[in-house]
Amino acid sequence: MKPGKDASSSKIRPLKHLNADALVRAARREFEKIPDPRKGRPGILFADTAMSAFSPCFL
């Protein structure tokens, strides 16, 4: 904040890449890079399973 300005006159600008949505997108991208170790054709993608395991961290 610049000298001479009070906090009420400054505008808060949201950060584009530092928020929960960006964190979830980044986690999903990383989980999609992990090869699925299961045999056959599972009905649920590994990335979806990993996201389910990751989600309690945000509750």
Model pLDDT for residues 45-56, shown as the tens digit of each residue: 999 999 999 888
Considering only residues 23 and 3, tell me which one the structure prediction assigns the higher pLDDT: 23
Q: Is residue 23 part of a domain?
A: yes
Q: Is residue 7 part of a domain?
A: no
Contact partners, residue 49, CB within 8 Å, separation at least 6 = none
Task: Supply the pLDDT for residue 30.
Answer: 93
Mean pLDDT of the chain: 79
Considering only residues 39 and 33, tell me which one the structure prediction assigns the higher pLDDT: 33
Q: Is residue 21 part of a domain?
A: yes
- DSSP letter at 43? S
Residue 39 tokens, joined:
């045999």
Q: Is residue 3 part of a domain?
A: no
Cα–Cα distance measured from residue 22 to residue 32, given in angstroms and rounded to the nearest whole number: 15
Task: Determine the structural domain holding residue 57 and report its residue range.
Answer: 17-35+43-59
pTM, two decimals, is 0.61
Number of domains in the chain: 1
Q: Is residue 11 part of a domain?
A: no
Q: Under a CB-based contact definition with an 8 Å cutoff, are residues 54 and 30 in contact?
A: no
Q: Is residue 51 part of a domain?
A: yes
